[in-house]
Amino acid sequence: MGEDIYKSSSSAKKLFDQANDILGFNLTGVMFTGTAEEQKQTKVTQPAIFLHSVAVALSNISFAPDMVAGHSLGEFSALVANKALSFEDGLLLVSKRALAMQHACEINPSTMAAIIGLEDKVVEDVCASLEEVVVAANYNCPGQLVISGSIKGIEIACVKLKAAGAKRALPLQVGGAFHSPLMEPARAELAAAIEGTIFSTPACPVYQNVNALPSVELNEIKKNLIAQLTSPVRWTQSVQNMVKHGAKTFIECGPGKVLQGLVKKIAPEVEVMSL
């Protein structure tokens, strides 16, 4: 992961090498040659995705977005791309976020599931009817919503949602109930780190996960970034609002093309590409 850009771009190589120094371990070594088990470590996965995404964006001198957004962890990459966060501070926050989320998962064993083929309102109503903690966590695109909650709650919700007409209800191989109230211990830990970090005036608006609205005001950006851990990722709504405000081309930075696929399902009329 990321080895191609590391070898082809001197500016990207500098960021990769810098990341190893900042984190105090050989992140790039694990990214390039580590085992699947090593790459799944909490302290590796989130910083690795952040590093790859930022390196792709910052190593392209023509990259000058009019607006930015990121899905969950990607919001930190977006804030580096629009110059609200430095690379160094963004990487440190992502590392602290990963460890805080791992801690929250250990306190409250929990999980997530993808629900395919149901309207959002139906999923929301079923989740709200349960006694267990289960909430809508990721509004990925129309007909694809991820729910998050206690292990027992997700099991019950999957049965009820299939009965309500879901085409599929797929438990996900994740460490915990991200973007749910069960991440409260992580939110408290991350809040202190964010409040202690210097943010700069962004070069363009960031459409944030919590409310899907554009923001350039630093206190609002920080508040929403903190709330993100226990709130749903409103990706569908973010893309819809970006299109409403003039976005015609979406460029995905980082590994894979998952977001390009989601964007095309949300707004078939726009152009999508990788950087």
The domain locations on the chain are 3-106+181-274, 109-171
Mean pLDDT of 176-191: 93
In the prediction, which pLDDT does 253 show?
Answer: 93
- Going by their DSSP bridges, the two strands 110-116 and 206-207 should be labelled as unpaired
Residue 77 has pLDDT above 90, yes or no: yes
Query: Which residue in 71, 95, 179, 231 is the catalytic one?
Result: 179
pLDDT at residue 61 tops 90: no
CA Rg, the chain, in Å? Answer: 18
**What is the pLDDT, as a whole number, of residue 60?**
86
**What mean pLDDT comes out for the span 179-198?**
94
179 in catalytic set: yes
The pLDDT of residue 257 is 93
What percent of the chain stands above pLDDT 70? Answer: 100
What's the chain's average pLDDT? 95
Q: To 5 degrees, how large is the angle CA 221–CA 245–CA 263? A: 85
CATH number for the domain whose boundaries are 109-171: 3.30.70.250
pLDDT surpasses 90 at 40: no
d(CA 107, CA 93) in angstroms, rounded, equals 21
**Predicted pLDDT at 112:** 97
At residue 205's C-alpha, the angle toward residues 252 and 98, to 5°, is 60
Query: If we measure between CA atoms, which residue out of 126, 230, 242 comes closest to residue 180?
Result: 230
Task: Identify the three-state secondary structure at position 203.
Answer: coil
Task: Please state which architecture CATH assigns to domain 3-106+181-274.
Answer: 3-Layer(aba) Sandwich (3.40)
Give the per-residue pLDDT at 1: 84
Amino acid 188: pLDDT = 86
Alpha helices in 150-252 (DSSP H): 151-163, 184-195, 218-227, 235-244
Cα–Cα nearest to 182, from 247, 255, 112, 244:
112
* Neighbouring residues of 148: CB distance < 8 A, sequence distance ≥ 6: 110, 111, 112, 134, 135, 136, 137, 138, 154, 177, 178, 179, 180, 182
Work out the pLDDT band at 216, boundaries 50, 70, 90: very high
Q: Is residue 101 within 8 Å of 176, Cβ to Cβ? A: yes
Over range 76-87, report the average pLDDT: 97
Kindly indicate the confidence band of residue 199, based on its pLDDT and cuts at 50, 70 and 90. very high
What is the enclosing helix (H) or strand (E) of 268?
Answer: none
